[in-house]
Amino acid sequence: MEVIDLTNLPISDDEGGSVSHEELENAVYGMTEARLRKVVIRLADRIPAFRRALVKEAIVVSGKKRKAVPRWDICANCEEEYDVSDEREEEVLMQILSQKVV
């Protein structure tokens, strides 16, 4: 079976032109965080498949009450972003112990 790499194919825009992956990436990196958030929420509201994918990336269901919570958080000890659905007990314990030793 032959695999075809489609990642660098141009993307058609509404005016009939095309935009490469790199051009789109540059535009996204050039946006403010606030504008990017608005675009993401607007796309999630308009495109069900995008919403489902975003939910998988951004939300986890936690606890016995099955409460939806943000998937990503910042560690209070090391200030690094982490996935709350990952088990981190040992890593966090090591951070706390290393701070107390100093």
**pLDDT value at 55 more than 60:** yes
pLDDT bin (cut points 50, 70, 90) of residue 10 is low
Q: For residue range 13-33, list pLDDT tens digits in order.
A: 666 568 888 999 999 999 999
Tokens of 61: 């269901």
Q: What are the residues whose beta carbons fall under 8 Å from the beta carbon of 43, sequence distance 6 or more?
A: 50
Q: Is the pLDDT of residue 78 over 60?
A: yes
What is the pLDDT of the chain when averaged over all its residues? 79
Between 18 and 45, residue with greater pLDDT? 45
**Interatomic CA distance for residues 52 and 34, integer angstroms:** 21
User: What's the whole-number mean pLDDT along residues 56-74?
Assistant: 85
